[in-house]
Amino acid sequence: MSATILEAQSQTGTVPETAQCTLFVPSCDAYSDLWTPFFTLLQRHWADCPFPVVLGANKQEFSQFDVRTLNSGDEKNWSTQVRRQLGELDTPYVLMMLDDFFLRSTVKTADVLECLNFVQKRNGNMIRLLPRPAPPVGNLNGSVPDFVREIPVGMPYRCSTQGAIWKRETLLTLLRGGESIWEFEMEGTGRSEHYPSGFYGATRSVLTYDHHVVQRGKWFKPEAKRFGAMNIGCDFARRGIMSDKEMLSWRLGKVRGAVGKLLPDALRERLTGNMRKP
């Protein structure tokens, strides 16, 4: 990121811990118009981020805020590209965060490092840094941050692309080349059952975004209004803004999805035709 981050590392003495984790933002050139506003807000709301920051892209470079770009060429498949980029990182953990999750307020570095320290001590596989979805109520044995719970086998979206600290080796195992980002969440959750424990989630937002700012290639209207007024480099000529009709269609889809989550797994899979792969 910037000199302020390097200074913060020196002052807080977090260098040994930060050597264990990379902030990894998997993206592609088609979303390069989001990079400037995303990293501007990252710098604004997490100026003392203690981790090296890496952006995954195809051929384009991003040269601001000390961000390192990893290029994967013309590969268009999400999972294949992310696997290739993760293979070039050398830290045992990665904090993976998508480029359309814009931070809205200050991130507390102490909370993030507490989560990293916890998952390291437990030799855990993943800790999601916000309750999307929330982990189930229950206590963990031993010394545990008061806002962390375990995500057991069988929970929907046990494997997701919400902001989370991952053991890099586990994430590489769960990613299968050829899958879309949505297939990774669905099928990866099924594959995560091979890990009976080691998946955790926060009961409150450690990362301070609300939800993604674009859907199907267009800006959500409220997010376009909010972030466009900030003068942070949003390019609305590059991609359009959802119409009222499109916003309504998206909201109805969210309602259908919420209802579907209430159905038994077997019935939901039968209705959607989305049976898990072995």
- Alpha-carbon distance of 143 to 176, in angstroms, equals 34
Return the pLDDT at 12.
45
Return the pLDDT at 262.
60
Which two structure tokens, joined as six digits, stand for 224? 């376009």
Return the pLDDT at 11.
46
Which two structure tokens, joined as six digits, stand for 22? 């990379």
Question: Which residue is listed with tokens 């596989």?
Answer: 125
Query: In three state form, how does the secondary structure of 119-159 look?
Result: HHHCCCCEEECCCCCCCCCCCCCCCCCCCEEECCCCCCCCC
Q: Are 186 and 193 in contact (CB under 8 A)?
A: no
Residues of the chain where predicted confidence (pLDDT) is lower than 70: 1-18, 254-278
CA end-to-end distance (rounded Å), the chain: 41
Return the pLDDT at 9.
42
Phi, psi angles (nearest 5°) of residue 187:
-75, -35
Give the 3-state secondary structure of residue 206.
coil
Which domains can be identified in the chain, with CATH numbers? Answer: 3-202 (3.90.550.10), 214-272 (no CATH)
pLDDT tens digits, 170-182: 999 999 999 999 9
Quickly list H helices, the chain: 3-12, 15-18, 35-45, 78-86, 109-121, 168-174, 181-191, 221-228, 244-261, 265-272
CA distances from 167 to 11, 116, 197, 211 (A): 27, 10, 13, 24
Closest CA to 67 of 91, 93, 99: 99
pLDDT tens digits, 50-109: 999 999 999 999 989 999 999 999 988 999 999 999 999 999 999 999 999 999 999 999
Kindly report the number of other CB atoms within 10 A of residue 19's CB atom.
Answer: 15
Return the pLDDT at 190.
96
